[in-house]
Chain A
Amino acid sequence: EVQLQQSGAELGKPGTSVKLSCKVSGYNIRNTYMHWVNQRPGKGLEWIGRIDPANGNTIYAEKFKSKATLTADTSSNTAYMQLSQLKSDDTAIYFCAPLMYTTEPFAYWGQGTLVTVSS
């Protein structure tokens, strides 16, 4: 069974960057497309983008193209998302969720990482 372990909560100052991780067990990350979704406090879900760990190819939602950078390390079966130029609006829970095919629903989710942006 696929299991996802995300890194712990982050507190970042405005203008800085944070890098979140998502370690996969039970499945080879090279055989997935790793997606990231966020949820602002009390709000809905927002798709950020996805990476193909096998070749590093990425697709981003337009609004996250200059905000998020997705990478993956196949040797450690871990996906990463860096958020840059943090603003208070980036305060949210960030989830990773793998897909085995390009378009299908999210059957597996990480537990989420809370990012709080505050000076």
Chain B
Amino acid sequence: DIQMTQSPASLSASLGETVTIECLASEDIYSNLAWYQQKPGKSPQLLIYDASSLQDGVPSRFSGSESGTQYSLEINSLQSEDAATYFCQQHHDYPFTFGSGTKLEIK
């Protein structure tokens, strides 16, 4: 199985700041990487797919990038509504696997 190592487990940032969340795949997943946002009591919402493509309706302050098997989610100009848990997921091969999540707190 492909392991997705996500970091950090949690972070706290102020309104307007920029944060970066990372996921390291245990093998090449050929950019088949998605990022999700999940708020308490809700289903995950797709933010980014294919490592850097923005899902329709997602604000442009969210962006994704990659370097080898390292994938990053950047959130610019943090807003209060960005407080959530973020997960990465490889959709390259079965079994699909997720990162362990990053809980983002807005100060």
Contact = CB atoms under 8 A, between A and B. Distances in A.
Interface of A: 35, 44-47, 50, 59, 61-62, 95, 103-107, 109-112
Interface of B: 1, 32, 34, 36, 43-46, 49-50, 55, 87, 89, 91-101
Contacts of B95: 47, 61-62
Determine which residue in B45, B94, B98 has the highest number of CB atoms from chain A within 10 A of its CB, and name it.
B94
Contacts, number: 55
27 contacts: A35-B96, A44-B87, A44-B99, A44-B100, A45-B44, A45-B98, A46-B98, A47-B95, A47-B97, A47-B98, A50-B94, A61-B94, A62-B95, A103-B92, A103-B93, A103-B96, A105-B34, A105-B46, A105-B50, A105-B89, A106-B44, A106-B46, A106-B89, A107-B46, A107-B49, A107-B55, A109-B43
B91 A105 contact: yes
Contacts of B100: 44
Chain A, interface SS category: loop
B32 A106 contact: no
Task: Rank and list the top 5 A-B pairs by shortest CB-CB distance, nearest first.
Answer: A105-B34, A109-B43, A47-B96, A61-B95, A105-B49
B43 A110 contact: yes
Determine which residue in B49, B87, B95 has the highest number of CB atoms from chain A within 10 A of its CB, and name it.
B95
A16 B103 CA distance: 34
B87 A45 contact: yes
A14 B45 CA distance: 32
B98 to A, nearest CB: 4
A59 B95 CA distance: 9
B46 A103 contact: no
Nearest to A49: B95
Nearest to A4: B43
B94 A109 contact: no
Given A44-B100, A45-B89, A111-B43, A106 B34 contact: yes
